[in-house]
Structure 1
Amino acid sequence: MTYTSSGFTNLENNFYFSSCEAREPSMTVQMGKVPISNIKSGAAPEKPFALDIRCRGMRPEKPVPLKIYFEGNSTGPGMLNLTGAGQTSVAQGVAIELKNDKGTKLPFNKPGAVSLDWQHSETDAEVYRFAGSVRYTPSGGEIKAGKADATMTYVLDYN
């Protein structure tokens, strides 16, 4: 007995690997010198910043659920402590307040991650943007002049 079969199998792959990266991997926001009276009164100027993130290897009709959160010396959402706080040359009673462009305080943990806004498609990538602002704010205690730098790292979460 002989058995002959004919047919075909259609294999469809709905999974795409995506890698995301910032166009500029490092950024410095120049805060400038701000009078103590402006910090005390909450009138320190906001300095805007933005990160453009390119994600490659994805289908344009199904964007990646891209989120961002931050890591740094923080006492809570939207507050970044100064580098070297407590040293004599570092400002006292001051922290850096961080918000996104919608006024939400920046998260310093993964559960608080915020979505990035899709901007446009490119030939080989989808482009997202995170926009925010920073400013000096009182952190408690007497405000004293000094160096007022801080560093934070952004983490992209695209599961």
Structure 2
Amino acid sequence: MSFNRIDSVKGDSIEILLRQLGAAKIQKVHGNLYFIKFILDNDFEVMYTYNINAKNKYFLQRIEPYPIPHGTFSNEVKIVDFIKKDVAKFKQGIKSKHFNDFLEATEQANKFVRLLDDFYLNYHVEEDSLVSDSLGQINTAIENLNKRLESIINHSKKID
């Protein structure tokens, strides 16, 4: 059996498992790149993409409601298990009165990362005091935000 046929068979088995979980849409691109969409309460969408790489591993990323890579998985059962748990957490999370605040915070954080990336890659970043001072202040602010978030996490009950 050829490598491409093995990928196709594994991809098809994941597709069946994801449909059983309630995936609203699964789009296959060239047999080894997949997009999976779940529609939760109030038409809230959670979307993932994964591909089967040359090492026969699965790289998964959530792309909606915000992009975040979730790493490489060794087989389809593990990737489906992760997605199942992740979707269940979103189903619970959307019930929170803080959910929209959480989405706004992640949107702002992602906007910041895109702006920083754009600045560094598309502008001359000179060795001057404005850039050095500003980047220093940004790093301090981010460090303080991380500490504050860690404090909130430490005072919150973890979901099993």
Q: Please indicate, yes or no, whether the TM-score normalized by the shorter chain is above 0.5.
A: no
Identify which of structures 1 and 2 has the higher relative contact order when contacts are C-alpha pairs closer than 8 Å and 6+ apart: 1
**Greater helix share, structure number:** 2
TM-score by length of 2: 0.24
